[in-house]
Amino acid sequence: MALPNFVLIGAFTYRPLIMNIYYSTLNWTLGSASATIVGFGNYVRFFTSDAAGVVLTTTAIFAVLTVGGSMLLGLLVALALNTKVRGQTLARASVFAPYVLSGVGVGLVWLFIFDPVYGVLAYVLRRFGTESPRWFNDPTLSLVMVIVVYVWKNLGYCAIVYLAGLQSLPADVMEAASLDGASTLRRFWHVSLPLLGPTTLFLLITTILSSLQAFDLIKIMTPTSQGTRTLIYEAYVQGFGAYQRAGYSAAISVILFVFLITLTIVQIAWVDRKVHYS
Amino acid sequence: MSLATVKSSATKTETPGGSSAPGRVSAGRRRRILPTILGGYLPLVVIVLVVAVPLGWMILSSFKQVSEIITLDLRLLPQRWSFANYTEAFRTAPFGRFFLNSVLVTTIGATVKVLLAIHTAYALVFVRFPAKNVIFVAVLVALMVPPQVAILPNYILIAGMNGLNTYWGIIVPSLGTAFGTFLLRQAFRSLPISMLEAAEVDGAGHLARLWRMVIPVTAPSIATVALVTIVSEWNEYIWPLIITTDPNLMTLPVGLTLLQNNESGPAGYGVMMAGAVIVILPVLAVFAFLQRYIVAGLTAGTASN
Amino acid sequence: MALSLDRRNFLALSGAGIGALALGACGGPNTSGSTPSSSAANGTDWSKVTPAAEITFWSNHPGKSQDVENSLIAAYHKTQSETKVTLVTAGATYEEVAQKFQTAQQGGQLPHVVVFSDVWWFRYFINDSIINLDGLLSYLKVDTADYVSGLYKDYAYNNLQWAVPYARSTPIFYYNKAMWTAAGLEDRAPKTWQEFATWAPKLKAANPSAQVAHMYAATADYDSWTLQNKIWGEGGALSKDWTMTCDSAEVVRTLQFTQDSVYKEKWAGVSAKDVSADFSAGAAASYVGSTGSLVGVLKTAKFDVGVGFLPGGSQATDMVCPTGGAGLGIPKAITPEQQLAAAKFLAFLGLPENTAAFAAATGYLPVRKSSDMSAMYAKVPQARIAVDQLGHTRSQDYARVFLPGGDLEIGMANSDILTQQANITDRLAKLKSTLTGIYTTDVKPKLS
């Protein structure tokens, strides 16, 4: 019964992985019928190129800020939503809405908001007498912009998952803490947060995975990716974009894959020692 | 007031997995009075605005003529509401077709994926066969393969089987599901074995046990998987982009990008706004309609990890 | 249904699974080291070939040309009934069409006529993905001499013709007539960039609502294309054949001028995304961009739009304008029947009245000398400028059009200089070594 699933995963995820590793050993221009074998050449080329430092730093910054941002803001939003105030269903739905929208559509809309000439943001800033920052021309600002939009889109996911976690905190423990006279803040910090451990771990793993694979937004908002050249986008540009170096691109994808596996293993191993399970 | 809340939380039922029964929201929070306004309403208003303003702006812009969008002198409302962008969008690209394609691909894809996830998770938890843990880890690892990696080899394979510009070519490669399998395995693990063993003694086979016992109980988790799967199927971009050249086969996100043109100057932006609305609005509408169930299901189901 | 798989069944089933994996282990490039034989198109006896019944035409509808392309196809169907042409939107940009075309080489459905831009056709040539058209063009008795020679020669290499012009453009100088009048300037484009530098402060002073007197294009908007004009005006070039000269004193001087215009004199800026939109919105008094955007700009701008030739520089005032846009070609890995059918359609598209119709609908240049554009000029007089400028154009530098990724690298260097205030000599030296590297690894081995 489960076999079709395994076969599908095998055929469409594992087989390409292996083929991709094979391609990464080639010097191959996309579209050409022939290629030469260069073994580890592509990997050496990447790590010795100037681009490597920039790409890896950008990826790290993007990952840390998007994951941190989504999770932190998600938690705060979840706390705010964890009330019985009127309109909370609307707020909960609103928070989650950007997550379900297409990255392409979202990217387009925000392009029009950030544009320094005809964008909404620029217009508002002009009314206040200042000029819009050069979001698209400055690599740092491009990165900031993409991070902001990504967090806007994804914090709803973290918020909803945290909300679920908050709502299943065992009531007896929470009551015990409040009867002990602990203030709201201390209660949260010493009781709720540790109890949310498993949720936090789940979110950490899934948000890191999707952050490192974020693509649509970056492509739509910064097509030449100056400043936003993350590892996955670099693989795309090198292979399918201007350079057409299919083998080199495959090598970069493999590097990314190795990172993802390592990160996940590290997280899970670290967790075995730390998290409480009530 | 506190006594009443203690009582109500004490009577809350809990399933073995630690999650409340579906639909019942925890009532164990104290009512705050003044802080309610600041702590309660204000964040909610801010949250709704932060989401609504960009989307609202997009919708309003889609009714404007290009010269009202590309200007230094922005106005909130269109000077003259015009459907021109929409008619142009539908004329330039077969959006009706895109929508149908998206619906088709998503329905088939998501249904198959969810079914596969359920069966695979069940097998991993309740069926005895060798090397189970290794296989599970292998499934997990599949989650970490970036989509880039799979595109070219899959393309070569599918194209070689004449799957270019076909519905099955779009759907099949993404059918193997790791995320759903992972989440449901965790959910199934938290079920008490005793319940299932009793059913086995009663003579119920695996399928019967699956459909009559496991699924009803883990419905919230399954709903979560269904939702995430539907959303990601609908918003799939890279693969449908590569595997289709014929616009009649394209899905909405892919079709949207078709509205741009090289060197066409700014005249196309109004149409692009309309296109973006067309892509986003159906999902928003469905979501708005179902959000009560979705959000409740999610908050009830994802705590068990 | 088996309840618990015993060891034997399990191994058998997993064996089947692995078999599925092994299936289709083929695919991908051949690494045996043998180069495939060169194009046999010249050797085919076309008189013995019947054109295929159906062909596909991959286009990205440059300049919003979808409507005119459809009407041209309809007209083609009226003139003959042996071949049916299907227009396929293969992407929104030249890059996307190229992506699809490249991946299709690995075993997808190839188009029969495909659009490729100035920076892509050469890559198809060295990948041996397209055929040279000489044999077909002479068999079909196409009047190749009637093609505008500069535009036609752009696709020649090694004395063979690899494509024909289709959506061709030159950049032109766009300016906001109202802002010009406010500044008291003559109603014309500047003759040189140095002359414009004297006009710019007046423009800024007289038009406070404009952000800049001149806007440079963003990297994604092909800034490296128009950069060549400024470099040529100063007597330099990005490359001389295959030698990279992008770090020469002339190029440094050019970029010093543009960098100063942004940072020291502050009359220029760099667009975020689409410079034609910034101009139409009134944020820039002038910009340099493709004539293909002319129709779109006229529609969006709320002011009178003036156009003119590209300015020269201190070393040259003539022959400083690049050409650009896209041409049409025919892939190699399709049957001769399809190639012949494709060529016939190509020839039809190249007829003078059809090129005139295409140009009129988009703002692109009419690529045939005998095209009658009088109706278009009556409606849109500005369209004449690009055509008049044709006689003053020169072919683009190899560094930009023949190196994979060259266009992007040059654009990024330009952007660093104009938006990050990078040190010009250092950045250009780095660019030179990058470009030379691309040539050595990705191009040179295939040329021999």
Any domain includes A89: yes
- Interface contact flag, A224 C408, Cβ < 8 Å: yes
DSSP per residue, C9-57:
HHHHHHHHHHHHHHTT---S-B-SSPPPPPP-GGG--GGG-PPPSEEEE
Min mean pLDDT across A218-227, B37-46, B98-107 is at B37-46
Cα separation, A47 vs A28, whole angstroms: 19
Strand order, beta sheet including C54-59: C84-89, C54-59, C113-117, C324-329, C164-169
Residue B6 pLDDT greater than 50, yes or no: no
Per-residue pLDDT at C7: 47
**For residues A224-236, average pLDDT:** 87
Of B136 and C429, more confident: C429
Distance between A123 CA and the closest CA of chain C, angstroms? 12
Length of chain B as a residue count: 305
Cα separation, A222 vs A139, whole angstroms: 10
Any domain includes A7: no
Mean pLDDT highest for which of B34-43, B284-293, C251-260, C370-379? Answer: C251-260
- Interface contact flag, B164 C108, Cβ < 8 Å: yes
Min mean pLDDT across A235-244, B57-66, C29-38, C235-244 is at C29-38
Q: Where residue B111 sits, what CATH number does that domain have? A: 1.10.3720.10
Any domain includes A203: yes
Return the axis-axis angle of helices C406-419 and C424-438, rounded to nearest 10°: 170
* Per-residue confidence band for A276, with pLDDT thresholds at 50, 70 and 90: very low
Any domain includes A238: yes
Distances (CA, A) of A189 to A158, A159, A196, C302: 18, 18, 10, 59
Count of domains forming chain A: 1
Q: Is the pTM of this model over 0.80?
A: yes
Any domain includes B226: yes
Cα separation, A84 vs A89, whole angstroms: 9
Chain B positions touching A168 (Cβ under 8 A) are 18-20, 26, 303
Distance between C16 CA and the closest CA of chain B, angstroms? 16
DSSP per residue, chain B:
-HHHHHHHHHT--B-TTS-BPTTPPP--PPP-SHHIIIIIIHHHHHHHHHHHHHHHHHHHHHTS-HHHHSSSS--SS-SS---HHHHHHHHHS-HHHHHHHHHHHHHHHHHHHHHHHHHHHHHHHHS--TTHHHHHHHHHHHHTS-HHHHHHHHHHHHHHTT-TTSHHHHHGGG---SHHHHHHHHHHHTS-HHHHHHHHHTT--HHHHIIIIIHHHTHHHHHHHHHHHHHHHHH--HHHHHH--SGGG--HHHHHHTT--TT-GGGGHHHHHHHHHHHHHHHHHHHHHHHHHHHHHHHHHTT--
Any domain includes B126: yes
* Per-residue confidence band for B90, with pLDDT thresholds at 50, 70 and 90: confident
Q: Where residue A263 sits, what CATH number does that domain have? A: 1.10.3720.10
pLDDT tens for each residue of B104-118: 999 999 898 888 888
Any domain includes A3: no
Per-residue pLDDT at C205: 94
Any domain includes A119: yes
**For residues B9-31, average pLDDT:** 39
Any domain includes A4: no
Residue A144 pLDDT greater than 90, yes or no: yes
Per-residue pLDDT at C186: 94
Any domain includes B250: yes
DSSP per residue, C180-214:
HHHTT--SS--SBHHHHHHHHHHHHHH-TTSSBSE
- Interface contact flag, B266 C7, Cβ < 8 Å: no
Cα separation, A228 vs C435, whole angstroms: 22
Cα separation, B103 vs B95, whole angstroms: 12
Chain B positions touching A250 (Cβ under 8 A) are 149, 152
Task: Tell me which residue in A5, A12, A89 faces B116 most closely, judged by beta carbons.
Answer: A5
Any domain includes A166: yes
Chain B positions touching A215 (Cβ under 8 A) are 147, 237-238
Question: Is B258 at the interface with chain C, CB within 8 A?
Answer: yes
Task: Tell me which residue in C3, C27, C169 faces B263 most closely, judged by beta carbons.
Answer: C169
Per-residue pLDDT at C77: 95
Three-state DSSP class for residue C109: coil
Return the axis-axis angle of helices B95-126 and B132-143, rounded to nearest 10°: 150
Find out whether B66 and B267 touch, Cβ atoms under 8 Å. Answer: yes
- Interface contact flag, A254 B149, Cβ < 8 Å: yes
Any domain includes B241: yes
- Domain that includes residue A264, residue range: 18-274
Cα separation, B304 vs B187, whole angstroms: 6
Helix (H) or strand (E) holding C151: helix C149-153
Length of chain A as a residue count: 278
Distance of CA A113 to the CA centre of its chain: 22
Per-residue pLDDT at B28: 43
Angle, vertex CA C405, rays to CA C399 and CA C406, nearest 5: 20
Any domain includes B110: yes
Per-residue pLDDT at B7: 33
Find out whether A226 and C219 touch, Cβ atoms under 8 Å. Answer: yes
Domains of chain C, start order: 41-169+324-371 (3.40.190.10), 171-322+394-447 (3.40.190.10)
Any domain includes B211: yes
Residue A69 pLDDT greater than 90, yes or no: yes
Any domain includes B154: yes
Nearest C-alpha neighbor of B121 from the set B107, B108, B136, B104: B136
Per-residue pLDDT at B32: 52
Mean pLDDT highest for which of B117-121, B141-145, B228-232, C397-401? Answer: C397-401
Any domain includes B293: no
- Domain that includes residue B178, residue range: 94-258
- Interface contact flag, A12 B174, Cβ < 8 Å: yes
Question: Is C64 at the interface with chain B, CB within 8 A?
Answer: yes
* Per-residue confidence band for B26, with pLDDT thresholds at 50, 70 and 90: very low
Per-residue pLDDT at B264: 62
Per-residue pLDDT at C336: 92
Q: Encode chain C (448 residues) as per-residue pLDDT tens digits.
A: 333 444 444 444 444 444 444 444 445 677 665 444 444 445 678 888 899 999 999 998 888 888 899 999 999 999 999 999 999 888 888 888 888 888 888 766 889 999 988 889 998 998 889 999 999 999 999 999 999 888 898 899 889 999 999 999 899 999 999 999 999 999 999 999 999 999 999 999 999 989 999 999 998 888 999 999 999 999 999 999 999 999 999 999 999 999 999 999 999 999 988 899 999 999 999 999 998 888 889 988 999 999 999 999 999 999 999 998 899 999 999 999 999 999 999 999 999 999 999 988 887 888 998 888 888 888 888 988 988 998 899 889 999 999 999 999 999 999 999 999 999 999 999 999 999 999 998 899 888 7
Per-residue pLDDT at A29: 82
Cβ neighbours, 10 Å, residue B24: 12
Count of domains forming chain B: 1
